[in-house]
Homo-oligomer: A and B are copies of this chain.
Amino acid sequence: MKTECDTKQKLLDTAMRLIWEQSYGAVSVDHICERASAKKGSFYHFFPSKSDLAVAAIDDHWRKLRPDLDRIFSPQTPPLERLAGYCEFVYEQQKQQMQRFGRVCGCAFTSLGSELSTQDEKIRKKSLQIMEWRCKYLAAAIRDAVREGLVPEQDCDAKARDLYGSVLGVLLQAKIENNLAIIRHLKPTIFRLIGVPEKEIAGAPSLHS
C-alpha cells in the first residue's frame, strides 16, 4: 500500500495514451509498465489480462469524458448549439492530441473497437456500449430540435446513430489523412442529416452565442 492505488491509475492512463497513439497490438504489457514506472507483477496484480486492462482503460477514459459531454449537451443549451458545440469539442480534442503527439489519433474507443471487435468480445461489447451512450446525447438534442420545430419530424434514435456514424467516419478520415481540417466538415454534415435548412448551414460558420 505504498502509494495508495495511483499505480493502478497510472497504468490506466498510460495504457489509454499508448493505445490511442499507437494500437492495441503494437503496445505490449512491458511498454505500458515501463512508461508507467510499474513492474509487471503490479500490472497483473490489478488486471487479470492485457485485454481486461483495455476494457478498464476504456471505462476510465469514458468516466473522464462524461463531464464535458454533460456540459456540452446540457438541456440549458439550445439543441442545435449543443450539436455545434459537440463538433467543436471533437475538433478541439483532436487538436489537443495533435499537439501532444504530433498526429491526428482519431477516436480511441472506436480504434480499439475496429481493431479488436472481431477477436475480443469483451472489448467489442464495451466499445459498443460507449457508442450507445454517446448516441443518447445526440438523440436528445435531435429530439429537442424537433420539438422546437427547428428540424422536421424524424426517427431521432436512428438519426442519432447516422450522425454518430458520420462523426466516426470523419475522425477515421482525419486520422488516415493526418489532417485536422476535415473535421470542420462535421457540423454542416450532421446539420444536413437532420434537415436543418441549407441557408442556415451556409451562414453562421461556427458557434453563434
Contacts and interface: CB of A to CB of B under 8 A. Distances in A.
A24 to B, nearest CB: 7
Given A22-B118, A106-B114, A165 B161 contact: no
Interface string A97-138: 000010101100011011111110000100110010000000
Assembly stoichiometry (copies): 2
Interface residues of A, number: 47
A189 B165 contact: yes
Contact of A189 (B22, B152, B162): B162
A52 interface: no
B178 A173 contact: no
Interface of A: 21-26, 101, 103, 105-106, 110-111, 113-119, 124, 127-128, 131, 152, 158, 161-162, 164-170, 172-173, 175-178, 182, 185, 189, 192-193, 195, 198
